[in-house]
Every structure is written in structure tokens, then in C-alpha cells.
A and B are shown apart, each in its own frame.
Chain A
Amino acid sequence: MSHTDTSDLANSKKRSFIHTLELDLRLLGMIGAFVILCIGFDLATGGRFLTPRNIFNLTIQTVSVAIMATGMVFVIVTRHIDLSVGALLATCSAVMAMTQTQFLPHVLGLGFDHWATPWVTIALGISVGTLIGAFHGYLVGYLAIPAFIVTLGGLLVWRNVGWYLTSGKTIGPLDETFQKFGGINGTLGATASWVVGLLAVAAALYGLYASRNNKKRHGFTVKPMWAEGVLAGIISVAILGFVGILNAYHVPERKLQRLFEARGEVMPEGFTQSYGIPISVLLLIGIAVAMTILARRTRLGRYIFATGGNPDAAELSGINTRLLTVKIFAMMGALCAISAVVASARLTNHSNDIGTLDELRVIAAAVIGGTALAGGVGTIHGAILGALIMQSLQSGMAMVGVDAPLQNIVVGAVLVLAVLIDIIYRKRTGEA
């Protein structure tokens, strides 16, 4: 951005404002597109799109793909691809479904709804996902088989391993505690949601403060105080606004009445209860924060981006790029397993077609979110926003009443268009 065209004064002023805030222009563009999309659908549906209920549903529908998209960022940044994530999700889901409905209750004799069941199941699922991912990484990194081929084969293999394990049957209902990771069956309620929101605001403000202090200590120029204030304000409003919206979605009256009846009580007049933040969304946020720290503040993350930018340079700098590949695919596998928990818990059962075509949604989310297939460039928050944009498009069109085939045609076209816009943007700003 060193060669700003100064002939257009208004333009350069706007630029310098954004520059002072140190905001990412591409991210702003994506948020802008997302906002326009939401408002457009809201108008087209007569105000049904931007309701607390629909926003709640959108977020829980996005979680599974978004979790995997954070891992796909690292895979694509290192110039690889993973076509097997949907199939791997199915295998992990099948393993976990069989573990909690057959193996633990019957073979080990724990019975149903034992306290240990969900945790043993999840630990096993994540181990299986990690191992399969690491195996993919070994084939790619050490045996030099292209990732495209390894994971294309993996797509067929793992989709059908899942089928084989369950004989193609739908397995359910899943453990009650396990189901809490799905979305609507496990939410924090109003009070806990506000507490989480306030803690998040506190953490964000501390982060800004610590970063400013550290920069000062080394004598770097820092943003003016007003810019920090604006940034802190935006972050606080965004977090608390999001919590407020989720809290505004109330449990339907009929459902509450049934809950009270089941306990043999009578529901008081005018009683309401908020859903609040779903546990699955909290899980996604936790993963997003962890993956962002990994990307930006750890050696592993630095090596991932260096390898993506110039594999030879990384190798010559003493980075073990083969082992790095194994780690990246293992991480991808673990995230597929976590997504499998969320996806199967949301459906309350394991079905044979779970995760079908997820590989395409995950790759599309990462790419729409600004991850470059040429390697070296990509962000975690971008990928999550990409997943959210995809899901909004799909849900919005369904609400407007667009036919299913047309929905997919639009999503496909948007993917190509997003990449085209990104290419044009990069050319304009002179980025590689």
C-alpha cells in the first residue's frame, strides 16, 4: 500500500482512516458483502431472515463446516488440498455412533447414559480422526504422493469404511450428553451467555492493551488512542450484540410447558427462557481462537506459512517440512472428528450420508474467506466468515423459495466469482 494514489484526496483520506485503525481491507470487503447479503435476504423474506431464531439456526448450521474450514486453511496454505474431510467426518461419526450405542453399553456393559460414555466416545473419535489424518500426511509428506490423489482415494475409502462399520444403517438415538454438542439441545441460557460475552470483551480489551504496551516497550509507533478506542468499541458491540441476539431467541412456550409437566410442575404465567449461546458455537469460537494463536503466535504456525510461501526456503531454514505435513493433516483429521461430534449430535443420530459434499463446502469456505490456492496466504477468521456466507446464501435462498438445483447453481457461481474478485483485488493492490 506504499504507492497510494494521492490524486484522489477523498479516497486517500478514507484509506488513511482505515490504515490508522490497521483494519484488513479484504476482511472489511467480506463483512460488507455478508451484510448486504443478509439485508437483501431480510427484505426478500419480509423480515424473516434477520430474526433471532434464524440467526441462531444459521450459526448452528455453520459450525460443522466452519470447524473443518479452520483446518483446511492450513492445508491449502501449504499448497495441499484435502478432499476427504466429508468422508473422514462420516467415518469418525460412525465410529463414535457405534462406540456409544453398541460397544460401551453392551460390550463393556456400561448401559445407556453412563456419565463416561460421551467422553470416552469423543476421545476415541478424535484419536481415530487424528490417526487417519496423520496417515494421509505421511503419504503426502514422506512418500510424496500428491495430496489431491491421497485424499481423493481417502474420500472413497473413508466414506465406505463408515458405511461398512454401520452396515449402512442409521444409528441412534445418541447419548443425551453427547447430543448437547449439536446446537439447540445444548445451550448456555441467558445468564451464562452474558457472562461468557463479558469475559470475551474483557479478554479482547486486554489483548489490545497488551499488544499496545509491547509495541511501546520496543519503541514502535502505536495507533492513536482514539483509534484504539474505536476498535475496542466495535469489538465490544459486536460480541455483546451477538450474545444479545442469541439470548433474544426464546424456547417455544409449548416446549417449556412440556418440560414443566414432565417435572410435575405448573409453568408460571409469563415465564420465558432464552436459548443463549449454543455449546457448539462456543466450541467453534474456542477452536477459532486456538487456531488463530497457532497461526500467528507459534513456531508451528510460522513454519506453515513459510512453507506455503516458499517450500525450498523453509527446508533450507532447517524446517522439517515432511513432519510439518503430517502435523497439518493430523490436525485436519482431529477437526473432522470434532465436526463429526457436532454434526451427528445436531441430527441426534448417525446417518450413512452424514458429511456428504462437505469437502466442497469446506474448501469453498476457506477460498471465499481469502485462502489462496497458490499457498502462503489465508486466515482463520476469513474461513469462518466464508462458511457463514455460504450457509447464509443456502438458507436465505431456501427461505425465499428458490428451487434446490438453482440454489446449488448460485453457490457454485458465487465461489468462482469470489475467487475472481480476490484475484482482481490482489492485482490492484500489487500483492502477489
Chain B
Amino acid sequence: MTTPLVEMKNIRISFGGVHAVDDVSVDLHPGEVVGLLGHNGAGKSTLIKILSGAYGMDSGEIWINGEKAEIENPRDARALNIETIYQTLALADNLDAASNLFLGRELVTPFGLVDDDAMEAECRKIMGKLNPNFAKFNEPVSALSGGQRQSVAIARAVYFDARILIMDEPTAALGPHETQMVSELIQQLKAQGIGIFLISHDIHDVLELCDRASVMKNGKLVGTVDVKDVTDDDLLGMIILGKKPEGVNVQD
């Protein structure tokens, strides 16, 4: 077995006495898509925010490429090539696409000044690949449609050589055509050996896109299964009742 890209071991975090994530362990291999499933409030977004550095965990360990990693803030996560596409998109609405794409990692001229033209040129290149119809480069992203905004958010994660990609409900705000675009993108990224955590509450998304699925309920891990071994009813049982499907190999 190859070294896992990510191992999160016995992660715990609580907010004011509520155990949002309670002793959860998940892992992710190169070129693999792992779905994180569960109801609202099951703790999946919280778990993933620990990996992306937005929250600090109370206890547990994170191993990246077989080495123990300390992730205390979003900068640490980025340094480990962990990129996140948040459900709320995390775009600064008043800035244009290029500024958002490079936010926190601006290209600068030899004098240390922000090089807007160079960033726009790079932005045009990557958007040309991701979403050829995209044309609003000089307007604030508040003027963009949901799908266009999503492509900016995805471009940001892809541009900087992500090794580990976290997608939090990437298709929630999208129409069918754009959802299809995201699916194709996930296949491409997989082929490049990138590991992806896909957070979703849509079982069909998960069955279609993922290799394995980890299901959470009330902050605890119900179990991790191979998607090809289970039916949607099995997954529903795990999500709603916290019941492990019978006759299926379930990782704890």
C-alpha cells in the first residue's frame, strides 16, 4: 500500500462543550476522491476546516505524505499544498477575478509592487482552460454568476499546484451544465494524482465521483466504505441511523 497523502488521526475539537468532531480518523491517497457525508451539523465541514487551518484541533494528529504536520493557520496548510474550495466560496466580492485568484500570493514586480497586468494575464490563461466562456476580467466578482464565481474559486485551488484539494459542496450553487464541468474537472485532477476530499450531502454526487466515502454523524465517524461495495440505501442508513451496512468491509 502506498503512503497516504493525508492521515487525520483521532481528531477532536469542541466548541463550548459541544463535541463537534469526536475522535475521527480519515485518510486520503494520491489520485483518490474521498467523499465526506453526513447531515448538516454532522461535523464534516469542521473536520475539513482543521485540515485547511481555519480551526485549531484540541487533540489528534495530522500526517501529510507520511510526515507529521503542524497546521495552525491557513498559511501552514497552503505551504503543504493543501488548497480549499469553500462552500461559501471565500471570494472578496469587491475585487476582480485575478485579485481573488492570487489573494495572499500576489505576483509582484522587481520593485515589490503588485503586478496586476501579469496576474490578469495568468488569470486569462487558467480561465481559458477551466471556463473558456469567462470574459469578465475587469469587474468585481460580485458582478459574476454563481458558476463564474465557482470557476474563480476552483482556479484558485488548481493554479497553485495543489496536492491535496478540499471541496466543500462544490456544486451546491451550480446549474446542471456547470455541475458537469466540475465533475470533469475532478476526473482530470484525479488523473494528475491529486487527492480530493469532497464534502457533500448529495449521495448521488458521492456515488458518481468518489472512490471511498467516510460518513459522519453527530461529530463521530460512522465508518468508511468503498463506494463500489455499497448502495445508496446503505449510505442513507449510515447517514441517518449511523448503522454500518452488513456484509461490507467497513473501515473504522
A residues with CB within 8 A of B: 2, 214-215, 217-220, 293, 296-299, 301-303, 305-310, 312-319, 376-377, 430-432
Contacts and interface: CB of A to CB of B under 8 A. Distances in A.
A406 B120 CA distance: 51
Given A215-B117, A315-B74, 15 more contacts: A220-B121, A297-B113, A297-B114, A298-B114, A299-B108, A301-B114, A302-B99, A310-B90, A312-B88, A313-B92, A315-B54, A316-B90, A317-B103, A318-B75, A377-B94
Interface stretch (B136-144, B206-214, B236-244): B136-144
Contacts of B88: 312
Contacts of B118: 218
Contact of A432 (B75, B89, B91, B140): B140
A293 B93 contact: no
A304 to B, nearest CB: 11
Given A218-B118, A298-B114, A430 B94 contact: no
- The B contact surface, by secondary structure, is loop
B114 A302 contact: yes
Given A2-B136, A298-B113, A306-B103, A316 B54 contact: yes
Contacts of A301: 114
Contacts of A315: 54, 74
Contacts of A215: 117
Contacts of A309: 92-95
Given A316-B84, A317-B103, A306 B92 contact: yes
B74 A316 contact: yes
Contact of B117 (A214, A296, A305, A431): A214
Contacts of B54: 315-316
A158 to B, nearest CB: 32
26 contacts: A218-B121, A220-B121, A297-B113, A298-B113, A299-B114, A302-B103, A302-B114, A305-B92, A308-B94, A309-B92, A310-B91, A310-B92, A312-B90, A313-B89, A313-B90, A313-B103, A314-B92, A314-B103, A315-B54, A316-B74, A317-B104, A319-B104, A431-B142, A432-B93, A432-B94, A432-B140
B131 interface: no
B74 A317 contact: yes
B86 interface: yes
Contacts of A306: 92, 95, 99, 103
A410 B88 CA distance: 44
B62 to A, nearest CB: 18
B106 interface: yes
A318 B78 contact: yes
B151 interface: no
B52 interface: yes
Nearest to A317: B104
**Which secondary structure dominates chain A's binding surface?**
helix
Nearest to A432: B142
Report the interface size class on chain B.
35 or more
B51 to A, nearest CB: 13
Interface string B98-132: 01100111101000111011101100000000000
Nearest to B114: A297
Contacts of B99: 302, 306
Interface pairs A-B: 5 shortest CB-CB: A309-B94, A309-B92, A376-B94, A317-B104, A318-B75
Interface in B171-217: none
B86 A316 contact: yes
Contacts of A314: 92, 103
A387 to B, nearest CB: 23
A220 B92 CA distance: 24
Contacts of A376: 92-94
B73 interface: yes
A313 B91 CA distance: 6
Interface in B60-89: 73-75, 78, 84, 86, 88-89
Contacts of B142: 431-432
Q: Tell which of A297, A305, A318 has the most Cβ of chain B within 10 Å.
A: A318
B117 A220 contact: yes
Contacts of A431: 140, 142
Given A316-B84, A318-B104, A220 B78 contact: no
Contacts of A298: 112-114
Contacts of B95: 302, 305-306, 309
B133 to A, nearest CB: 14
Contacts of B106: 299, 302
Nearest to B153: A313
Contacts of A217: 117
A299 B102 CA distance: 10
A220 B125 CA distance: 13
Contacts of A303: 104
A90 to B, nearest CB: 34
Output the residue of B54, B73, B92, B120 with the most chain A CB within 10 A: B92
A310 B74 contact: no
A211 to B, nearest CB: 8
Contacts of A218: 117-118, 120-121
A307 B52 CA distance: 19
Nearest to B89: A313
A309 B93 CA distance: 6
A372 to B, nearest CB: 9
Contacts of A2: 136, 139, 143
Nearest to A312: B90
A248 to B, nearest CB: 37
A21 B3 CA distance: 58
B224 to A, nearest CB: 27
A65 B3 CA distance: 62
A377 B93 CA distance: 10
B13 to A, nearest CB: 17
A166 to B, nearest CB: 42
Contacts of B52: 316
A84 B103 CA distance: 32
A293 B113 CA distance: 9
A377 B142 CA distance: 13
A302 B139 CA distance: 15
